[in-house]
Amino acid sequence: MKTFSQCVSRLSVVIITSIAFIGGCGEEKKPTPAPKPAVAKDDHAGHDHAGHDHGKKDHAPAPESAPAPESAPAPESADDHGPTTQLGEQVSGAFTVKASRDGALTAGGEAPIDVWVSSATDKVHAVRFWIGTEDGKGSMKAKAELEKDNWHTHAEVPNPIPAQSKLWVEVENEKREKIVVGFDLKQ
């Protein structure tokens, strides 16, 4: 003879199975693709992007499982783009724009760019960066993502780099009005 708990246990399995079956009726489920393995991408900036999300920038170093031997060089941070170069601050329309870049500029490479945009009256809808001439010929505009208090992206550096190239920052407000400011790259 079966015990009460065995009956309840079997009844629970039957109910859960029935709910799962009924919930799936009439719906064609597509197979879920297998997740792509994380592959470290060696880029021109000298670091990889495995596990690196610029949308949620946190530059705190990852905890180490064991200290490196004293004779071994300390590993670089996964987000070490190189030294930061402050490019200045400009006011245009209702916006104050401050910019910096990390690392050296290499033709055909990319440059990590950070821009801070503030305004007492307008809200920012979008920010785009490019390196080259103001008209953008031969350059790729990159839409930046808002991080904590700054806009960030990796801008492509044209190859060859046009004479008198600058970092160009386009700020679009919520009315879709745009301002453009240029910063000396300080190479």
pLDDT for the residue numbered 9: 53
Q: How far is the C-alpha of 33 from the C-alpha of 105, rounded, in Å?
A: 38
For residue 96, what are its two tokens?
């104050």
Query: Pairing between strand 166-173 and 124-132?
Result: antiparallel
HSE (side-chain half, CA atoms, 13 Å) at 29: 7
Sequence-distant (6+) residues with CB within 8 A of 3 are: none
Its pTM stands at 0.58
pLDDT tens, the chain, 187 aa long = 555 555 445 545 445 444 444 444 444 444 444 444 443 333 333 434 344 444 433 433 333 433 333 333 333 333 567 899 999 999 999 999 999 999 999 999 999 999 999 999 999 999 999 999 999 998 999 999 999 999 999 999 999 999 999 999 999 999 999 999 999 999 8
Q: How far is the C-alpha of 6 from the C-alpha of 24, rounded, in Å?
A: 27
Which residue has 């505009």 as its token pair? 141
Structural domains for the chain: 82-184 (2.60.40.760)
